[in-house]
Amino acid sequence: MKQCQWCEEFFDMTDKPKGWMANHTRWCDKNPKKADYLSALKKRDSVKQMIDARKKSGVTNQFIKAKQNGIKLEHPLKGMSHPNPFKNHTEESKQKIKEAALKSNHRRLRKGMVNYNGILLDSSWELALAIRLDELKINWIRPNPIVWIDSNNIEHNYFPDFYLTDYNIFLDPKNPAAYQNQIEKIEILKKAFPNLRFIRSLKECEEFEIKNFI
């Protein structure tokens, strides 16, 4: 058991991921520095910081160095096909894998996930939206997957990022590139689930207003 220095609540850490207590302490409602952290988060542009740091350090990868020196460098994996994970599976085993996936409520763990008040979020966009929803005192959860059927009549699980319990609305932050890459799937989802709404910029996450989505 560990105790938060701000709210003085005790937490059982046996099933908590590493760093959970530090994250709770940082974002605890009674932490006097929470407002400063929120302000810093809203001002942060992680992509720009990364680019500026790279320019300052002068560190570049082999492809950038080659381009600067006028050398054409082929990627070693260019033209290679992805291995088919189902290559050695029978049709029966493929069906079993599909059924197991559809029954699972498990979200895929990703590198760079953020622990916010004990909830794992996938990106800085999701973190900004979660903070904004809490600021507006809008109740939300990480919902179970919804099942959708593609143009080939195949069932899939889709995991919306947020569900606003008081409004029956699913919210899904998605950057423009990802949105465009998944446009066919998204159009099917929007028709099947009219209460699924997509957010397409960090600013929209930070300045979310429920009136724009009802």
Q: What's the number of domains the chain is made of?
A: 2
In this structure, are 118 and 206 located in the same domain? yes
203, burial (CB in 10 Å: exposed 0-12, middle 13-18, buried 19+): exposed
Predicted pLDDT of residue 198? 95
Q: What percent of the chain has pLDDT over 90?
A: 36
Residues 126 and 30 in one domain: no
Number of other residues whose CB lies within 10 A of the CB of residue 71: 10
SS3 letters across the chain: CEECCCCCCEECCCCCCCCHHHHHHHHCCCCCCHHHHHHHHHHCCHHHHHHHHHHHHCCCCHHHHHHHCCCCCCCCCCCCCCCCCCCCCCHHHHHHHHHHHHHCCCCCCCCCCEEECCEEECCHHHHHHHHHHHHCCCCEECCCCEEEECCCCCEEEECCCEEECCCCEEEEECCHHHHHHCHHHHHHHHHHCCCEEEECCHHHHHCCCHHHCC
Q: Between residues 111 and 134, which one has the greater pLDDT?
A: 134
Query: Residue 11: which pLDDT band, with cuts at 50, 70 and 90?
Result: confident
Over residues 104-121, the mean pLDDT reads 74
Q: Is residue 195 a part of any domain in this protein?
A: yes
d(CA 62, CA 53): 17
Of the two residues 111 and 26, the one the predictor is more confident about is 26
In-domain check, residue 183: yes
Nearest to 44 by CA among 34, 54, 36: 36
Residue 120 shares a structural domain with residue 209: yes
Same domain, 132 and 213: yes
| Whether residue 122 is found in the same domain as residue 201 | yes
Phi, psi of 175 (to 5 degrees): -70, 155
Please give the residue range of the domain that contains residue 209.
112-214
Whether residue 39 is found in the same domain as residue 121:
no
Query: What is d(CA 150, CA 98) in angstroms, rounded to the nearest whole number?
Result: 14
Residue 153, in any domain of the structure: yes
Give the separation between CA 202 and CA 45, rounded to whole angstroms: 10
Q: How confident is the model at residue 193 (pLDDT cuts 50, 70, 90)?
A: very high
Whether 67 is covered by a domain: the verdict is no
pLDDT in tens, 151-192: 889 899 999 999 999 999 999 999 899 899 999 999 999 999
Chain centroid to Cα 201, Å, comes to 13
With contact defined as beta carbons under 8 Å apart, do 6 and 31 qualify?
A: yes
Return the pLDDT at 208.
Answer: 96
> Is residue 103 domain-resident?
no
**Is 107 contained in some domain?**
no
- The pTM of this model reads 0.54
Average pLDDT over residues 89-111: 65
Residue 95 lies in a domain: no
Q: Does one domain contain both 123 and 211?
A: yes
- Is 201 within the bounds of a domain? yes
pLDDT at 110: 63
**Cα atoms in the 13 Å half-sphere on the side-chain side of 156:** 15
Mean pLDDT, the chain, rounded, equals: 80
**pLDDT surpasses 60 at 209:** yes
